[in-house]
Structure 1
Amino acid sequence: MTYLDHAATTPMRPEALAVYTAVLATTGNASSLHASGRRARRVVEESRESLAAMLGARPSDVVFTAGGTESDNLALKGLYWARRAADPARRRILVSAVEHRAVLDTVDWLGAAQGATVELLEVDGLGLVHPETLEAAIRRDPASVAVVSVMWANSEVGTVQPVARLAAVARRYGVPFHTDAVQAFGQIPVALGGDGPDAITVSAHKIGGPVGVGALVVRRGLVLEPHTHGGGQERDIRSGTLNTAGVAAFAAAATAAGAQAPVEAARLAALRDDLVRRVRQRVPTAVLNGPPLDVPAAGRAARGPGTAGGASTSAAGAFPDGLRRLPGNAHLSFPGCEGDSLLMLLDARGIECSTGSACSAGVARPSHVLLAMGAGEQQARASLRFSLGHTSRATDVDALVEAIGPVVERASRAGALAGTSGG
């Protein structure tokens, strides 16, 4: 098997697996007052301290959850309800048009069921939200904005957002800023810090921890209304018995990922660049989506909002310093092919990746991320995401390169036949 879907989930790291199995073998509810409970509580609090240190936060800022989706829900619902309760005029929610469904579906529900007004922030052809775009949206009526949410790094095309600059804009107007950092954490520096966001979503299984545990990191003083009630765990923000083994393994995975991050980022970026270069040699029509591999320094041109593949406009200062694309991300479109067909043909050859589209009730839909970036529907349907991780090796790239030419040729023939038959 050649696994190129680390952005979906990545294998558990040996360090995390060892901790996970050791703690699973013990008994203790971290809310209990006897010896077993106190031992479990110590494990939880030491893990909280470890994660907080990595995230530039206080231990009390870290609220453990069941994963990224719950953390996004808790942040957006909790902030919206609390801000609206303090001032009923605060009903606007600003989110980027390229968010994960965990954010988009949450704010859609708040709009349909809770009276929120949801506004999507436009992105440019690279998938970037420009600080000027956010400022213009807030400035129209600052008193009505409840919360802003822009993901740290895009889960499909890997674009790294200028989070510090976006958070600074929101802070100037007194609006809380949340970011879904599920894809970014463990690959690039992510921190609450003095200039960072007010709330950060992270998840364990994306960095080599177990499925079923995550965290919402909340700046001290920020008020959230809880959406689950019960035993009052996690500062009464998220009630429920703590997943002690999962929390411990999360911290172990984060520690390992953090220690290896600088070297690992360079290694994955080199592998990624080799993958893109060689795939495009085999399939010259393939299109790389998102930031180019050789992103210029801030101030060079980037495609303007909604014009993917179109005319260039100035993007001075659009990119933050450092990485502009996640090091393990390669997102490619193959004109004339259906992404689902490509995926299944590669899967038959033992190569696992993902499409750039979501599938609901058996109906394939074009990637909302690429559509928001200005791509046409055909390009949005013809995409694959190859994502590398800590177990990726050069042999994985070799396997893909060997297979991609025949697979694209076969998928193109199938697409042509479907077109001529009206299918």
Structure 2
Amino acid sequence: MNTETPDLIYLDCNATTPVDPRVVEAMVPVLREVYGNPSSGHRLGRRARELVEAARAQVAACLGAKPEEVLFTSGGSESDNWALRGAVAARGGGHVVVSAVEHPAVLETARAMEREGRIRLTVVGVDRFGQVDPEEVVAALAPDTVLVSVMLANNEVGTLQPVAAIAETCRRRGVLVHTDAAQAVGKLAVDLRELRVDLLTVAGHKLYAPKGVGALFIRDGVALEPLMRGAGHERGLRAGTENVPSIVGLGKACDLVREEVTDDGPRLASLRDHLEALLEAGFPALVRHGHRERRLPNTASVAFPGTDANTLLALLGEEVAASAGAACHTEAVHPSHVLTAMGVDAATAMSTVRFSVGRFTTQRDVEEGARRVLAAAGSPRIS
């Protein structure tokens, strides 16, 4: 071990979370012993089916849903694609409304369907905090609107959206509502009895479960065409043999969220606030993005004016893990579509870094991480 290399401080929990050791512990016996196909009628198959259904009940309990309303997928992107394409196909096309700050799995899917001639698309804007105005969503509705998709919490700046208010209006108009809750589940108490949405996306790797597993909540009575066809898995709606160990991991992770999220929230918010205060004290020109109150407890999106975020993160490469507020496509670097929608100028957007703390982040991580970031931000090489 090279003792001269500092330990990496992980402040990128919105990108992905480490798998909780308790989740690993739940998965290992399944990996070793329960190798049966859940569709098989023999003992090993029946045991695998029991574990899948137990996990389904755990996810449902975490969300305030019925077990039969939870369908397992490969993750958030599949769930988003399925929600949009499945809802539109079940209704024979029509008009779709999404917000300008959605995850690409929603935005790009909607734009692709528009190019394919399947839908008319309206993209509603946000204010300078990244928040959608429910009245703008209402104004965008048309007689043929079939679906509105607005995320519960933004992955870049952490702003929370008024999804319950949007769902209430849409329900009166007979319009389905989907919310991408990938960033919210695990950081907030998410209760579908309050949200009243029709479709909701869950991503396992955002809540200390493995990558490659997720879920889509489909409210009882909502028709959705399959995205993947084949055998009759997941009520005949999602073909493919179930990933039993990862589904068990997702179920355990959701149990932990249900038990601990109320206590985790204030602790995460305290760490985030401490990090922001340290960064601002050491870099007085710091610019904060997102809503000050209505935001995820763990997310700090900040700009270091006069710097380049990607260069800053490259300098920090082995010391601090965080994300830039810019999207890289091949050799081109573009300002974040979220920050652009919020009216942030390109230079500020390109100097933006997202820090996101998590369940295993300590105060020492925050303080040492801030020290390293400020040291790098003062380097003459990053402007």
TM-score (ref. length: structure 2): 0.96
Partners of 1:45 and 1:234 lie apart in 2 by 10
Residue of 49, 52, 63 corresponding to 2:71: 63
Counterpart of 1:334 in structure 2 is 304
Residue of 91, 94, 113 corresponding to 1:91: 94
The answer to whether structure 1 residue 2 and structure 2 residue 31 are counterparts is no
Match runs of 1:11-30 below 5 Å: 11-26=18-33, 27-30=35-38
Which string of whole-angstrom CA distances, capped at 9 and with x for unpartnered residues, describes residues 77-108 of structure 1? 00011112xxxxx5211000000111111111
Which string of whole-angstrom CA distances, capped at 9 and with x for unpartnered residues, describes residues 167-215 of structure 1? 1111111000000000000111213226521000001111110111000
Contact 1:73 1:103 in 2 (8 A): yes
1:353/1:194 Cα in 2 relative to 1: closer, same or farther (>3 Å)? closer
Residue of 93, 101, 107 corresponding to 2:110: 107
2:302 aligns to what SS in structure 1? strand
Counterpart of 1:198 in structure 2 is 198
Partners of 1:204 and 1:176 lie apart in 2 by 24
1:410 aligns to what SS in structure 2? coil
Contact 1:282 1:404 in 2 (8 A): no
Q: Which amino acid aligns with 1:131?
A: P
1:205 aligns to what SS in structure 2? helix
The answer to whether structure 1 residue 279 and structure 2 residue 279 are counterparts is yes
Counterpart of 1:147 in structure 2 is 147
Match runs of 1:115-264 below 5 Å: 115-138=118-141, 141=142, 143-193=143-193, 195-264=195-264
1:288 aligns to what SS in structure 2? strand
Residue of 350, 360, 368 corresponding to 1:391: 360
Runs of 4 or more consecutive aligned structure 1 residues displaced over 4 Å after TM superposition: none
How big is the shift at 1:404? 2.3
Partners of 1:226 and 1:145 lie apart in 2 by 21
Partners of 1:195 and 1:281 lie apart in 2 by 38
Partners of 1:232 and 1:193 lie apart in 2 by 29
Partners of 2:114 and 2:362 lie apart in 1 by 44
Partners of 1:360 and 1:161 lie apart in 2 by 27
Counterpart of 2:58 in structure 1 is 50
Q: Which amino acid aligns with 1:283?
A: F
Counterpart of 1:347 in structure 2 is 317
Which string of whole-angstrom CA distances, capped at 9 and with x for unpartnered residues, describes residues 134-163 of structure 1? 11111xx2x211211000000000001111
Q: How many residues align?
A: 375
Contact 1:192 1:199 in 2 (8 A): no
CA RMSD of aligned residues (A): 1.2
Contact 1:288 1:332 in 2 (8 A): yes
Contact 2:160 2:296 in 1 (8 A): yes
2:146 aligns to what SS in structure 1? strand
How many percent of aligned residue pairs carry the same amino acid? 42
Counterpart of 1:325 in structure 2 is 295
Q: Which amino acid aligns with 1:100?
A: H
Counterpart of 1:374 in structure 2 is 343
Partners of 2:95 and 2:307 lie apart in 1 by 39
How big is the shift at 1:69? 0.3
Q: Which amino acid aligns with 1:15?
A: R
Partners of 1:69 and 1:326 lie apart in 2 by 20
Partners of 2:335 and 2:254 lie apart in 1 by 33
2:38 aligns to what SS in structure 1? coil
